[in-house]
Amino acid sequence: MPDQNLEVIPLGGLGEFGMNSMALRYGEDIIVIDAGMMFPDSELLGVDIVTPDFTYLEQHAAMVRGLILTHGHEDHIGGVPFLLSQLNIPVYGTEFTLKLVERRLDEHEMLEEASLHVVEAGERMQLGPFEIEFIRVTHSIVSCVALAITTPLGVVIHTGDFKVDPTPTDNELFDLHTLAEYGKRGVLLLMSDSTNVDRPGYSESERAVRPRLEDLFSRCERRLVISCFSSSIHRLQQILDLAAEYGRKVAFLGRSMLNVTEIAHSLGLLSIPDSTLLRPQDIMQIAPDKVAVVVSGTQGEPMSALSRVAVDNHKHLYLQPGDMVALSSRIIPGNEKAIYRMMNHIARRGAELVYGSMNPPVHVSGHASEEELKLVLNLVRPRYFVPIHGEYRQLSRHAQLAEHLRFAGLKDTFVLETGATLIIDSQGARRGEKITVGRVCIDSGSLDDVVEDIVIRDRRHLSEDGFVLPIIAINKLSGKSEGLPEIVSRGFVGGDNADLLQEARSVVRRTLDSSSPEELGDWGVMQEKIRTDLKRFLSKQTQRRPLIMPVILEV
């Protein structure tokens, strides 16, 4: 029997949503599965994204053989530039996934140095002692794979994100046959997606959305605006097909929507009917009943395309009474307030809102529900099981779901959280020592602004550049600002720079004057606009970047 240990090391995504990243170590060799990110909680002021702490990989840099990506969602690839800035390792993934990674690396001017290798479902490759087979799975994004990793101690299966869709729109079926073959031969460890474990039954097929979309196209008498995740290529294809069928032209709004559709079309994953596309600047020029607009920004992000449309501040689209807006997406936990606020603005425009659960649905989940999770467990019949991707309550429930396999060879289930390790050797599996993990908060998306601790980041930021508090009083009834904004500054400029602060007040005033009454009533939007404009002004005048925390008082 081999005398080395196999270590399972979760770097992110266990006991939390997002930041999915997992390392496998055998002897002196390590492979990494995914490197994701998540968006910050509201209390993380000034932070744009959060990634896992890759210190463990940096400490063992000579052992890391490569990064393998299961699919192209941000919670699985968003941390790739930050990992590659610390470790120069090869990256493996399907063509579409790597194209999305390329876009991220290009933003950080890292694309030329990156070593990216395209793999296909069904392909096998060797990295050190690990032989990896890529297994096709269905999900809400195209070109997803699960991983069957053969190690000297046995086979480890990592499902990635998945659902078992029997009728995918691209007819690329989940490869259950290969999964079952591994199950017959014997699987040492299964790591399976737990996101929807608390949903009974089966997740609906992507095709279940078509009847509702068809209903919207047939019922809408004016402009139809549909918002969905830009990565939902299956959904976008159905919208394009229905638009051609109902004689409507389609315009895409939002940077991510334009980028992803361009990539998908160039790879032949998105088919655009002839004469269907419409330039954004032409949306308002053609008859309202002849246009459909697909917009990014489903989660109410303050400066996203849909948020700007909602407050009548988009240069290419403004809503009018009788228009219809459909939110073809789920509400990600934590975003409820921002989304409902945005929906209120849309309703004020006189547009009809379509959202939420209905039958037929306007959105279906991309994650497996309880019965599909059972199906995978029954096909694989692992000796050990580790639920992944989800909060602790979901991991725990998934572990309970596997208990029936005790009679079919399951020896033990381990509910791990990020940083807790599992060791498997010839004697069996046991919990190992915890490793250093955490969250890395990134300001402005720049690799130069990576910090390992939010408190240290703030203290360093304050010590170097100080802080600026623009204080704005807005009349609750009229929505207008009361008098000139006040600027409070500490550790940034002294009394000799009164003129600079006076100009800064004028900058904030101009931002307020150029905002619509509804924007003034939306604190989230106004804080972001003021922070952006003031940061640009102060950086230009002083080459410094103080911490800017707008305070809005309702009077």
For 128, 164, 187, 202, 412, the CA distances from 374, given in Å and listed in that order, are 32, 11, 16, 10, 16
3-class SS string, 50-113: EEECCHHHHHCHHHEEEEECCCCCHHHHCCHHHHHCCCCCCEEECHHHHHHHHHHHHHCCCCCC
**Under 8 Å CB-to-CB from 24, ≥6 apart: which residues?**
6, 7, 8, 9, 30, 31, 33, 130, 149, 151, 156
Is the four-CA dihedral 459, 61, 107, 279 of positive or negative sign? negative
Catalytic, out of 76, 367, 398, 461: 367
Is the CB of residue 474 less than 8 Å from the CB of residue 527? no
Which of the following is catalytic: 34, 193, 323, 443?
193
| 202 CB-near residues (< 8 Å, 6+ apart) | 164, 369, 371, 372
Asked if residue 225 lies in contact with residue 280, where contact means CB atoms within 8 angstroms, the answer is: no
Cβ-based neighbours of 304, under 8 Å, separated by 6 or more: 254, 296, 297
**Distance, CA of 238 to CA of 271 (rounded, Å):** 10
Rounded-to-integer distance, Cα 461 and Cα 527, Å: 19
∠ CA 401-406-410, nearest 5°, is: 95
Pairing of strands 439-442, 49-52: antiparallel
Catalytic annotation present for 363:
no
**Measured CA distances, 219 to 67, 236, 248 (Å):** 47, 19, 13
Phi, psi of 144 (to 5 degrees): -100, 150
Q: Is 215 one of the catalytic residues?
A: no
CA distance linking residue 473 with residue 485, whole number of Å = 7
Which residue is listed with tokens 């790591």? 191
Q: Is the dihedral of CA 192, 193, 194, 200 positive or negative?
A: negative
Contacting residues for 413 by C-beta, under 8 A, at least 6 apart: 384, 385, 386, 387, 399, 402, 403
Task: Give Cβ neighbours of residue 476 (< 8 Å, ≥ 6 apart).
Answer: 554, 555
Q: Dihedrals φ, ψ of 278, to 5°? A: -130, 135
Residues 412, 428: Cα–Cα separation, whole Å: 10
User: Which amino acid is residue 443, in one-letter code?
Assistant: D
The Cα angle at residue 18 between residues 16 and 24, in degrees rounded to 5: 85
Other C-beta atoms lying within 10 Å of the C-beta of residue 276:
16
Rounded distance between C-alpha atoms, residue 510 and residue 422, angstroms: 57
Q: What's the half-sphere exposure (Cβ side, CA atoms, 13 Å) at 453?
A: 5
Characterize the bridge pairing of strands 154-158 and 352-354: unpaired
The residues assigned a catalytic role are 193, 367
